[in-house]
Amino acid sequence: MTELRIRAGDEPITGDVEQRGHGVSTISAYLRRAIETGAYSEGDRLPPERQLAVTFDAARSTVRRALDQLEKAGLVSRRLGSGTYVGSGG
């Protein structure tokens, strides 16, 4: 397993993923789990797409599609020019 490390604010968030470079489902599942377990709380801003792409060794378009899935599920809201926030109210 590979340790995945992303930052939210000043606190590092770590977790395990089978492999980096997977697609939309891996990114979406990891972020969903981080939200559901409280690693990210309501109103928290997720790392920028660019940083997530580097972290997951994926294209930004792949990260965008993963965030689209989370938005459709009502787990995040996105604000153009501001970022992606946990919860529909952001």
d(CA 72, CA 19): 25
Q: Is 52 exposed, middle or buried (0-12, 13-18, 19+ CB in 10 A)?
A: buried
Summarised one tens digit per residue, pLDDT across range 25-35 is 999 999 999 99
> How large a percentage of the chain has pLDDT more than 70?
73
pLDDT at position 22, please? 73
In the block, tokens 């990891």 appear at 30
Work out the pLDDT band at 19, boundaries 50, 70, 90: very low
pTM above 0.85, yes or no: no
Domains of the chain: 2-86 (1.10.10.10)
> Residue 18: how many CB atoms within 10 A of its CB?
8
Average pLDDT over residues 46-51: 96
Average pLDDT over residues 70-80: 95
